[in-house]
Structure 1
Amino acid sequence: MDGADDHEPGGPGRATRRIIAVGGRTRVLIVTTFDLDEYAYEGLRAGASGFLLKDARPEELVAGIHAVATGDAVVAPRLTRRLLDAYAHQVLAPADAPAAEDPRLSSLSDREREVLIAIGQGWTNTEIAERLVLTESTVKKHVGRVLAKIGARDRIQAVITAYDAGLVKAKS
């Protein structure tokens, strides 16, 4: 969504918050010409399920729309690493600070917490299954439970939660 008020900082976030506030099953995929990290981060924090650039190939746009429509999430590949590097320090407490338990995590089982950490590290369901020695169908069940318990609409929201809670740290 590229509206007139979306050309100032926070624009995609404001528009996304308005759309999400209406409720329902609407998911937001921001497609913009602005390759600005703060636009992407604000839009995702506001509830967008994806952020792509208008110069994406047609098949990437279609795949992004399909991913968001089915409850998954998508971020333009060239933004992903920059977002993690640039903004993780803002949501993570200093290493020497005592970690307060995020209330969203209190209902997670140990396995669900492991799955949330894996999601936060960007692992696919297949990678989670291989590394945690689970079947993919079991991983999908865990992912669904994690999303429900932490109140996340999709994997991007789960990644933000994992960073906010300090479960995942940016790689230096």
Structure 2
Amino acid sequence: MNGKIAIPKKFYFILFASVIAICLFSFTIGRELYADKTESIFSFGVIHFSGYLFFLLMPVELAFIYYLPYYSGFDLIATALVTAITAQCIDYIIGQLLRPKRIIELMGQKRIIKAERKIQRYGLLTIFIFNLFPLSSPVIALAAGMLRYNFRRFLVASMLGLFLKYMLIFLCFS
């Protein structure tokens, strides 16, 4: 060994994802807070979309609760559904296109294998439940793409789970 410390590739991936998340927050909500402006539905959409990409896992449900006083439930739920479904479709397509070895390097073998097993075993129910609860549904979308799970079934289960989740959050926090 030549005295250098080996830094795993995963570290660079986590660092990259963290920098993107911090920049997104700074350029949306952060900018609005500093300018003393009301939070915009656009900034909510950007943060929500980003949080549903598999490499930027963020607690987007908290952003939904944060924006509730500023917008109607219909506007927030519609924005949340459109942005989450769009991001999950991207995750699904990435799962189909990227080599499994590359995805496993980025996300971790245990996490991907666990998601794949759940989809293979329970299918539609897994996708629905992972979208209903604040779990890592983007990882499930990625795994569904890797497994070439039926896209329409994936889309329907995702939309139902997300809609129910955001309706429950709206009813509990409004």
* TM-score for the superposition, normalised by structure 1: 0.36
Structure having the larger proportion of residues in helix: 2
Larger radius of gyration: 2
More strand by share: 1
Relative contact order: is structure 1 or structure 2 higher (C-alpha 8 Å, sep ≥ 6)?
2
